[in-house]
């Protein structure tokens, strides 16, 4: 299961290569990519942290990264933004971004 990031745990949990899916319950496109995020969290277990952050319940982190549209997926590498994708993305597109960050 994808990790659940919050404003409280983000700084301590977002280490190394991390994919964060910024989403909200009411967002239709967010539900489209949710299965991709879940699958990637299993495929990259032990290599990268894959998780989700509900922007309605965790506005501080969303504001810090300037999230204005959801879904937005960011890839962090050692705390810095490595890649960012706004809108729906395929599992293959997201996997390619993770692989690039791990390289």
Which positions are catalytic? 27, 30
Return d(Cα 35, Cα 41) in angstroms, integer.
Answer: 10
Residue 79 makes CB contacts below 8 A (sequence gap 6+) with 14, 15
Return d(Cα 21, Cα 24) in angstroms, integer.
Answer: 10
Of residues 23, 5, 22, 26, the one with CA closest to residue 14: 5
């Amino acid at each position: 299961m994808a990790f659940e990031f919050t404003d409280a745990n983000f700084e301590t949990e977002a280490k190394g290569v991390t994919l964060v899916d910024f989403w909200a319950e009411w967002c239709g496109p967010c539900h489209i990519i949710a299965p991709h995020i879940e699958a990637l969290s299993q495929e990259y277990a032990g290599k990268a942290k894959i998780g989700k952050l509900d922007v309605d319940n965790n506005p501080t982190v969303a504001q810090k990264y300037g999230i204005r549209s959801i879904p937005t997926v960011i890839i962090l590498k050692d705390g810095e933004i490595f890649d960012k994708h706004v809108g729906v993305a395929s599992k293959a597109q997201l996997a390619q971004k993770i692989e690039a960050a791990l390289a």
